[in-house]
Amino acid sequence: MLMAQENARDYFQGELYQKDGKQRLEGITIERPGDATLELDEAETGKLFMIPDGSTVWALAVREKEDAPAGLDVMSNNVFMAENENASVIVYRDEEGTSLRVDALYIRRLILSADAPERLATVSFGLMAITAYRLGFDHIELFAAGNGPVDPDDPDGFVGFAVWPKFGFDAGLNPVELSIAPSEALRACETVQDVLATDPDWWAQHGRGREMRFDLRAYSRSWRIPLNYLYDVLPLPEIES
């Protein structure tokens, strides 16, 4: 269904370039300690790292920093990026297995810029999650930036805290964060997804940015949310009789 979408047909067929913008990328090699090495072609690279066709791509081995783990940092740039910004997705290994760390700020600027095609973020994240699952990744993590209330008149406002949970990302909550919640049902919530299931408007007004995770394991709560969302917001391809 995703590959039948116009955005996938136009931007995720596998036409990526090296940093010089002249030579084709051909693919990326991902070393996974204890597991088989992953050899990704251009199309798989674009899907796994949310990189649309026509992008320049380069990868660097990075050490652990305060806001990101050590691993292979796959960076990209294209016409949908804000000026002087690059997208960044780190492949790393933790105690649970091979994982993806997304720099949500750059992804937001890449996908949700004013010039980006409608629903490009929805299609590209769906492709990322499905590709990551098929390749054996355990989870995707990111920092969902911003705080409520969402200001629709501020195009530069960070809305990751409100957007990423719609794609299935979740995080735990501290009791103090819900101490002013207007209902007992809200005060009993333990995660962001619990709040959204109880009162999504409250989260849009009072939610706060934080680290969030998408659980790639089959039948996880994370999967149920984006699958329903994709069927709700994307046009279904016509079936020939």
Whether 133 and 153 map to the same domain: the answer is: no
**Residue 110, pLDDT above cutoff 60:** no
pLDDT digits (tens, 9 = 90+) for 160-179: 899 899 999 999 999 899 99
Q: Predicted confidence band at 96 (pLDDT cuts at 50, 70, 90)?
A: confident
**Residue 189, pLDDT above cutoff 60:** yes
Query: β-strand 56-62 against 38-41: which pairing, if any?
Result: unpaired
Q: What is the pLDDT of residue 195?
A: 96
**Amino acid, res. 116:** A
pLDDT digits (tens, 9 = 90+) for 1-26: 889 899 999 999 999 999 999 999 99
Percent of the chain scored above 90 by pLDDT?
A: 55
Which residues lie below 8 Å from residue 67, measured CB to CB, with a gap of 6+? 143
- Residue 190 in any domain: the answer is yes
- Give the tokens for residue 181: 């919640």
- Residue 231 in any domain: the answer is yes
Q: What is the pLDDT of residue 132?
A: 95
Closest CA to 204 of 122, 146, 118, 121: 146
Q: What is the pLDDT of residue 239?
A: 44
State which residues form the domain around 80.
1-137
Q: What is the pLDDT of residue 238?
A: 57
Distance set, CA 71 to CA 43, 50, 135 (Å) = 22, 18, 17
Between 62 and 241, name the one with better pLDDT: 62
**Residue 194, pLDDT above cutoff 60:** yes
pLDDT digits (tens, 9 = 90+) for 205-230: 999 999 999 999 999 999 999 888 88
- Residue 240 in any domain: the answer is no
- Residue 132 in any domain: the answer is yes
**Residue 185, pLDDT above cutoff 90:** yes
Q: Predicted confidence band at 85 (pLDDT cuts at 50, 70, 90)?
A: confident
Whether 169 and 195 map to the same domain: the answer is: yes
Q: Predicted confidence band at 120 (pLDDT cuts at 50, 70, 90)?
A: confident
Of 107, 137, 167, which one is at a domain's C-terminal end?
Answer: 137
Whether 124 and 17 map to the same domain: the answer is: yes
Element (H, E) at 101: strand 97-102
Q: Predicted confidence band at 35 (pLDDT cuts at 50, 70, 90)?
A: confident
Of 91, 110, 137, which one is at a domain's C-terminal end?
Answer: 137
- Residue 241 in any domain: the answer is no
